[in-house]
Amino acid sequence: MTSPQDAGSKPTIILIDEDISRLRTIEGLLQQEGISSISCQSGQEALAAAGLRDATIATMNLELPDIDGLLLLRRLKQEHPHLRVIIYDARQNIPEATFRKASAHAFAALGRRSGRTEMLLQVHRAILAQLTSDKHSLQTELAQLKSDSPAAGSEALPAEPHTDIPPKTSQSDSTRVDAAQDGRDENWFRNLFQSSPAAILVCDRDGRLLDANPAACRLYRASRAMLLQKSILELILPEEGQFKLRYFQDLFKKGQGQFEGVTGARHKGQVPVDVRAKKFSHDETLALLLHIQDISVRQSLQKHLLYSTKMEAIQRLGGGIAHDLNNLLTVILGNAEFGLQAAKPTDATYKDLLNVEDAALQARDLVRQLLTFSRRHDSAPRLVDVNEVVRTHVQLLERVVPDDIKIETSLHTGLQHVLADPGALQEVFMNLSVNARDAMPNGGRLLIATENSNSAATLFQGASGPDTPGQGKRLQDGNFVKISVADVGTGMGGDVLPHIFDPFFTTKDATKNTGLGLSVVYGVVNQHKGSIDVSSEPGDGTVFHVYLPAVRQSPKSEGTSTEKPPAHGMGGRILVVDDNENVRKVAFYILQKQGYSVLEADNGHQALDYVRTEKLDLVILDVVMPGLSGPDTYAQIREIAPALPVIFVTGYDIHAEIDTAQYPGVTLLQKPYTQETLGETVSQLLA
């Protein structure tokens, strides 16, 4: 038989088999002949590889994971008529008739009921025959093969029955297969070692490095030669303590192990890694293969998940507390207003009732701040006096700042107002203040100042933005309220400043800080169409400047029931639905005083009975009720009386509980409400 080296051209052979070990064995046999090949483990890979211009031969196992072998055979012959296909039945379980039918469409079908080694040798010989012979000489070659082992035939030779006696394989052939497989395996694993995206180190029992792949060199920022001069004890530190040699040798005894640790891999610090160790034989020496995976991204995501879980728990707790408090405040505020209306300013109890009403209004605002802080819903902006927000913040801040930090304020007396969410501003102040506190571990001075400004820096954009913090800042004209938070702490260098607003970035202990505080500040300021700037130097403290667009209009006064008379109704029949009796009674008396006829229901089912039997002009419906909820009750009301107006009220955060897009015709009212707010809402709907 003519050697393929004498044939001149050496085209690529396509090998198609889902079994990688069989593919590597055939590849090894072909490599001994100087023949290149492409391995495909699926039909799709094979169809793609067949498009190569120099691919003229394909070998194929009839059983493939993604396509029927006969279908693939037909497609190969149709799309690539020049391609000659050698088929074989690796599992030897294809019916005889099917195998014969396949041979009519293939160049040759080999390996029926033969041993694994013999089958692979037959494939190898058939490839050589195709490369060195024309069609007639190939038939001769196949006839010679059939004298050694049965075959299914070829396009020119009819299929013959296969014998159940497997042919003998010569010792030299078996040796060639074993050698090819061993050599190919070694090459395959070397390729995996070199191309692995994960760092891999090999070391002996004493911890000396024997090998390192390119990914390890990238991780440690060192050449392979430099790494091989080091001990594994210098490169990996488990989190549970120093990586002692005894710990390392225990891995040899166990044969394998896994741990998480850190590695001094980058010039800016250590990298958290997951290490999986496995003992194996390396050049006849016992060695340990260490698969090292950078898990910094995973840990960041875990911290983010933990933060999100905590925030979700705060959200649920805050929502539940707010609901109960708002129900209580509705009763307190309502009865205080009733008492004020019944009393005279000269009465001894009148001032006391004013104090009760004022305290209830302050408590209402605190509950709203709690909801805004705990729930990350869209902001509810209103005209705000920033100085008042700062004063409230300082009262809260004094509880979390140690005594050795002095809190000072410098608040401009003629400060303009801003359109903002007070709770969101509190969150900005709290995050900036906590950062300042942490920057002064030995005490110091924290200053919060406000002033009017005619220009503001563009929104800080970090390293990727057009401006460097503190240098070349672009200014925009307009009226702004400027808020400054300054400390005399440790300060920050130029390598840190561009990243301070990045999520998860922190210079603090990663176990005690999520790195999300300043990114939240950035988001809130951006949401309010403002800008933020920072200046800092190591050892000289830090100053944050927040600029918010100013509004010349003064905020609307909340007032009390005595400052503005309650709205008077024009008549109408109203149903109040609430499972809290005291809240229901407050609404009843407010509406009755304003001239409405009022019915009460303590659950959704009773409310539906009234809707069916009574002529109603309006329903005031609590959102959260046991049994039939407010939204479920509303859905059934719409079926009974589609045009009946409905007001949703709740002690929870109404913006988070109600999706206005689902209830386009519903008016929303947040508890606690006053006589004025309830009366105005009702009169607008019934006007």
Instruction: Provide DSSP, 135-201.
Output: HHHHHHHHHHHHHHS-EEEESSS---PPPSSPPP--HHHHHHHHHHHHHHHHHHHHHHHHH-SSEEE
Would you say residue 7 has pLDDT above 70? no
pLDDT the model gives residue 605: 94
pLDDT at 451: 93
Question: Residue 222: in which H helix or E strand, if any?
Answer: none
Does one domain contain both 216 and 102? Answer: no
| pLDDT exceeds 70 at position 153 | no
480 with 626, same domain: the answer is no
CB atoms within 10 A of CB 540: 13
C-beta of residue 14 within 8 angstroms of C-beta of residue 37: yes
Whether 279 and 226 share a structural domain? yes
Q: What is the pLDDT of residue 559?
A: 42
Q: Which of 644, 653, 605 is nearest to 626 (CA)?
A: 605
Residue of 133 and 437 predicted with greater confidence? 437
Sorted by sequence, the CB contacts under 8 Å of residue 330 that are 6+ apart come out as 583, 586, 651, 671, 672, 673
- Return d(Cα 460, Cα 466) in angstroms, integer: 9
Q: Cα separation of 4 and 56, whole Å?
A: 14
3-class DSSP state of 656? helix
pLDDT score for 465: 34
Asked if residue 448 and residue 548 are part of one domain, the reply reads yes
* Tokens representing residue 371 in the block: 């909801």
In a domain, 561, yes or no: no
Count of structural domains within the chain: 4
Q: What is the pLDDT of residues 338-356, one digit of tens each?
A: 888 888 888 888 888 888 8
Euclidean distance between CA atoms 450 and 485, whole angstroms: 9
Q: Are 551 and 419 in contact (CB under 8 A)?
A: yes
What pLDDT is attached to residue 512? 46
Distance from C-alpha of 350 to C-alpha of 657, rounded to nearest angstrom: 37
Q: Does residue 672 have a cis peptide bond before it, meaning omega lies within 30 degrees of 0?
A: yes
pLDDT value at 174 more than 70: no
The answer for residues whose C-beta is within 8 angstroms of residue 631's C-beta and 6 or more apart is 623, 658, 662, 663
Q: How far is the C-alpha of 607 from the C-alpha of 575, rounded, in Å?
A: 8
Range(s) of the domain holding residue 156: 4-180
Range scoring the smallest mean pLDDT among 93-107, 132-146, 175-189: 132-146
- 393 and 444 belong to one structural domain: yes
Is there a single domain that holds both residue 391 and residue 505? yes
Task: Specify the pLDDT at position 410.
Answer: 93
Question: What does the pLDDT look like over 12-65, one tens digit per residue?
Answer: 789 998 887 788 888 878 877 778 888 888 888 888 888 765 677 888 888 888
Look at residue 313 and tell me if it is in a domain: no
For the stretch 238-281, pLDDT in tens is 554 445 667 777 888 888 888 777 776 555 567 888 888 888 87
Banded model confidence at residue 314, pLDDT cuts 50, 70, 90: low
Check whether residue 218 and residue 153 sit in a common domain: no
Q: What are the tens digits of pLDDT across the range 364-387?
A: 877 765 665 555 444 567 888 999
User: Is there a domain that residue 456 lies in?
Assistant: yes
Residue 270: both structure tokens together: 């250590």
Higher per-residue confidence, 496 vs 3: 496
pLDDT higher than threshold 50 for residue 136: no
Characterize 367-379 residue by residue with b for buried, 16 or more Cβ atoms within 10 angstroms of its Cβ, and e for exposed: bbbbbbbbbbeeb
Answer yes or no: is 270 within a domain.
yes
State the Cα–Cα distance between residues 26 and 8, nearest whole angstrom: 21
| CATH code for position 578 | 3.40.50.2300
Question: What pLDDT score does 481 carry?
Answer: 92
Q: In terms of domains, do 132 and 266 share one? A: no
pLDDT 10s digits, 447-500: 999 999 887 655 443 333 333 333 334 446 678 899 999 998 888 766 666 667
Distances (CA, A) of 473 to 165, 253, 469, 470, 535: 88, 62, 7, 7, 11
By mean pLDDT, which of 88-92, 348-352, 383-387, 647-651 is the weakest? Answer: 88-92
In angstroms, what is the C-alpha Rg of the chain? 40
Q: State the pLDDT at residue 85.
A: 85
